[in-house]
Amino acid sequence: MAIMSPNVYLWYVCLVASATMILYGYDAATFNAVQGSANFIEYFHKPDANVIGSVNTAYTVGGIVSGVFFSAPISNMWGRKMAIVVGCVIVIIATFVSTFTPRNIGGYIGGRALVGIGQGIALGSGPVYISDWDWKTVMLCQLIAPVFIIANIWACPESPRWFIKKDRTEDAIKALRMIREDDDMVELELQEIRQAIAFENQAVAGSYKPLWTDKTVRYRFILAVILNVAQQLSGQGSLNNYSTIIYKTVFKDNSTIQLINALNGTFGITFTLNATWTVDRFGRRFLLLVGAVGMAAYKPSWGATVWIWTSEIFSMNVRAQGVAMAAQSQNVANAVLQQIFPLFLEKKGFYAMYMFAGINCFLVIFVYFWIPETKGKTLETMDTLFGSVNHVDKGAVLMDEQEEGKRRQEGNQEQEVEEGQEVVDSVENVADQTNKEVKA
């Protein structure tokens, strides 16, 4: 991408990759919005609260299955880009299934399950005013994000860490040079990656096993699972999925409800963009604490920071597995919560939201005492924050030992060659002397 500077190109790459979150955000917004559509309700024969909960359950279960069992293997085998593409293709197929299903809610639920599968592999603004739109139009707008991602992902480099893990050093150098302006920085980062992976390949071998057997990795995984579950229990997930029926307990006019939803989506985008600078200026812990105290600050805190923190804390050998499984713990919590919340809301009305206030008070305590700050840490040195050894330093020692072993082996081979040559020379000398004696 010669037409862009490395910094601009880095922003472009991050934009394309982060668009996977729109798959999640827009899907939640669409189903939330269509619940207020008389057209949708009539089309599916007025589904009750239990059926509405089942729609979300199907989606979250699909995400759990694909996120836990398929996302990491695809990512590790074929690369991060291909995992994103596969997920987007499935979402595109699911969109058509959901949109053009016959008037049977089972077909729509099946489409939602497929959406969850696609999002689970790959992992916004919702519709502004649903009443004047046909619900199928809203569903078809889900095509925007996956089509955008597929069209642009090919211009993005593969992860340099994945290249190194696959012994493709030259490709890793090219990828780093596309997003770094300084060649010295490229060499330093490349060396750190190689050293960390060299240590992990020898000392922390395994695919999923270290998540359970390595004490520091297990501790990180548990914290990540709790944090991702807490993201759903904070109440924002229920608000995203059911704000239309939540606001119906307070407001009677659907136009007012959709206006509030539109404002929530607009402010959500604005606040999420703030995370691009606040997360490194104030740190991850600060944003999580502020977000738990006041859920108005959810988007740049629990909405964005949980994903950032989760993706940072795992070492390379278990990063894809750890992130995929921790992220899908959101869907485990979501599957339970979103199935029962419509029934709870039906019984208690708006008072059901007070439950989330109590949960957020607990989250302030949890973050303050148990979540360490990851600001300023490189991915290769993150392990020291959780009581493990420095993988870069250990890898450097290991690589030095390997180089020394190679030098000794080469020295021994040279010595053997020299000794062999001496034997050959000695034999030749004896042969020459014998020939001279015979001639004499």
Q: What is the DSSP string of 44-74?
A: TT---HHHHHHHHHHHHHHHHHHIIIIIHHH
Sign (positive or negative) of CA dihedral 393, 396, 401, 404: negative
Instruction: Write the single-letter amino acid at 219.
Output: Y
Taking the C-alpha atoms of residue 119 and residue 101, their distance in angstroms, rounded to an integer, is 20
CA distances from 200 to 173, 263, 303, 329, 403 (A): 20, 47, 31, 26, 17
Residue ranges, the chain, pLDDT below 70: 1-3, 18, 21, 24-26, 28-29, 123-144, 203-206, 262, 265-270, 272-273, 295-300, 411, 416-432, 434-440
**How far separated are the first and last CA of the chain, in Å rounded?**
81
**What is the chain's mean pLDDT, rounded?**
79
Taking the C-alpha atoms of residue 10 and residue 248, their distance in angstroms, rounded to an integer, is 43
Q: What angle do CA 116, 300, 31 make, to 5 degrees?
A: 30
Taking the C-alpha atoms of residue 325 and residue 171, their distance in angstroms, rounded to an integer, is 28
Closest CA to 248 of 38, 44, 105, 28: 38
pTM, two decimals, is 0.67
Neighbours of 348 (CB within 10 A): 13
Taking the C-alpha atoms of residue 438 and residue 431, their distance in angstroms, rounded to an integer, is 10
Closest CA to 196 of 389, 403, 402: 389
Closest CA to 371 of 268, 301, 315: 301
Sign (positive or negative) of CA dihedral 302, 291, 267, 31: positive
Backbone angles phi, psi at 304, to 5 degrees: -110, -40
Residues 6+ apart with CB under 8 A from 71: 83, 87, 120, 121, 123, 320, 324
Taking the C-alpha atoms of residue 177 and residue 222, their distance in angstroms, rounded to an integer, is 35
